[in-house]
A = this chain, B = another copy of it.
Amino acid sequence: MKPTIKDVADRAGVSIATVSRVINGAAVVSEKSATRVNAAIKELGFKPNQVARNLVLQKNTSIGIIVPALGNQFYGDILNGIEDACAAQDYEVFVCTTGGDPQKEGRFIETFSDKNCAGIVVMSRKLRPETVKSINALNIPTIMVNRKTSGLMCPTVSIDNFRAAYEITNYLIGLGHKKIALFRNSLDIDAFGVEQYSGFERALAEHNLIIDRDLVCYGEFDPVKSYNLMTELIEKGKVPTAVFATSDVMAMGVCNALFDKGYKVPEDVSVVGFNDIQLAAHYRPALTVIHQPLKQMGEEAVRMIVDMNREDGRVQKDGRTVILPHELIERQSCCSPADEK
């Protein structure tokens, strides 16, 4: 069995209180006791039991993460940021995946609460009102990443999705495009899809362009679905000169469909992505995208949780919003439409 503080005390010939003192370095201990205790610790290979310690201290250095799926570079990049920041602070990371199932979200939040996590970061595409309610009731710092939070009193971190969409649409328009398709996901009033849509719409409107309903496709962040949708568009003869996809994988699906039908990107149609997952640069043609500082977003979320825990245990739930800077990165997937050249 693992040695306990008591074994160390016996071996060093002191009380467990003294051992505890040297472990925590808080109170003053005579040099003599200290050396004996340290010797005993080393000899026994003693390591304090974290669960006992957490119990008495009523705190915990683990934070819980709720994420739709792993093996998805978008969340993966964010998670890397979370993980790095946690490791730097000696926090541990619990990860739960929902597979998009909103029911699981609620369950995992409870799990984390039961485990007395120091904080929770939620990445979700669809949030049920009940989940919102239970998050609000939670006595644990909770942060949303890449999501709005109407009705939800908890801090969020994201980019300015309206501006980002606006900028990249303008970029396309600046290139001379007028027939621009939008590949997006289904509406969820609190996800950023709506901001992106507004940005898209605004840019168009400012150039007296209007949205062609047939050209807005619900690719649902899925390359296959996007592939099929783009194929349909082609078969219906409704080929745009440019496509704005609100995720990189959708952009790839669109490109693939185009290739398979004999079109060239960007010569025949320009395509832009959104997020800039690592693969966006490795895809051919390399994707012109809006870059989100994914890793930094994760780090920021952790920073906020650690801060909130420092604040004397007082968990304050306010609507703090952290907006990180995005960036338009030009690569190979865009050019002016043929009739302009």
Residues of chain A at the chain B interface (Cβ within 8 Å)? 2, 47-52, 54-55, 60, 62, 69-73, 75-77, 79-80, 83-84, 87, 92-97, 99, 104, 110-111, 113-116, 139, 223-224, 227, 249, 252-253, 255-256, 259-260, 277-279, 282-284
The 8 Å CB contact of A48, one of B76, B93, B114, B279, is B114
With a 10 A CB-CB cut-off, give which of A49, A77, A95 has the most chain B CB atoms. A95
Contact of A76 among B71, B256, B279 (CB under 8 A): B71
Q: What residues of B have a CB within 8 angstroms of the CB of A54 in the complex?
A: 51
A104 cross-chain contacts in B, Cβ below 8 A? 87
A-B contact pairs, 25 of them (CB 8 A): A2-B139, A49-B55, A49-B114, A50-B115, A50-B116, A51-B54, A51-B55, A69-B76, A70-B79, A70-B80, A71-B73, A71-B277, A72-B73, A72-B76, A76-B76, A87-B96, A87-B97, A92-B94, A93-B96, A94-B95, A252-B282, A253-B282, A259-B284, A260-B284, A284-B284
Chain B proximity of A245: nearest CB distance (Å): 13
Contacts of A87 in B (CB 8 A): 96-97, 104
10 tightest A-B CB contacts, nearest first: A71-B76, A70-B79, A70-B76, A71-B77, A223-B282, A83-B97, A50-B114, A95-B95, A71-B73, A51-B55
Q: Which residue of B lies closest to A94 (CB)?
A: B92
Report the nearest B residue to A259, measured CB to CB. B284
Q: Which residues of B contact A77 (CB under 8 A)?
A: 70-71
Taking CB atoms, residues of chain B closer than 8 Å to A73 are 71-73
In Å, the complex CA distance between A173 and B267 comes to 37
Given contacts A70-B76, A249-B282, contact A92 B83 (CB under 8 A): no
Give chain B residues whose Cβ lies under 8 Å from the Cβ of A256: 282, 284
Q: Decide if A93 touches B95 in the complex (CB within 8 Å).
A: yes
CB distance from A70 to the nearest CB of B (A): 4
Bound complex: CA A260 to CA B286 (Å)? 11
Q: How far is the CA of A19 from the CA of B115 in the complex (A)?
A: 20
Q: Are B278 and A71 in contact (CB under 8 A)?
A: yes
Are A115 and B92 neighbours in the complex by a CB distance under 8 Å?
Answer: yes
Distance of A125 from chain B, by nearest CB (Å): 16
Q: How far is the CA of A279 from the CA of B77 in the complex (A)?
A: 16
Taking A71-B277, A94-B94 as known contacts, 19 extra A-B pairs with beta carbons closer than 8 A to each other, sorted by chain A number, are A47-B114, A48-B114, A49-B114, A50-B116, A51-B51, A69-B76, A70-B80, A71-B77, A71-B79, A72-B73, A87-B97, A92-B111, A93-B95, A95-B95, A224-B282, A253-B282, A256-B282, A256-B284, A259-B284
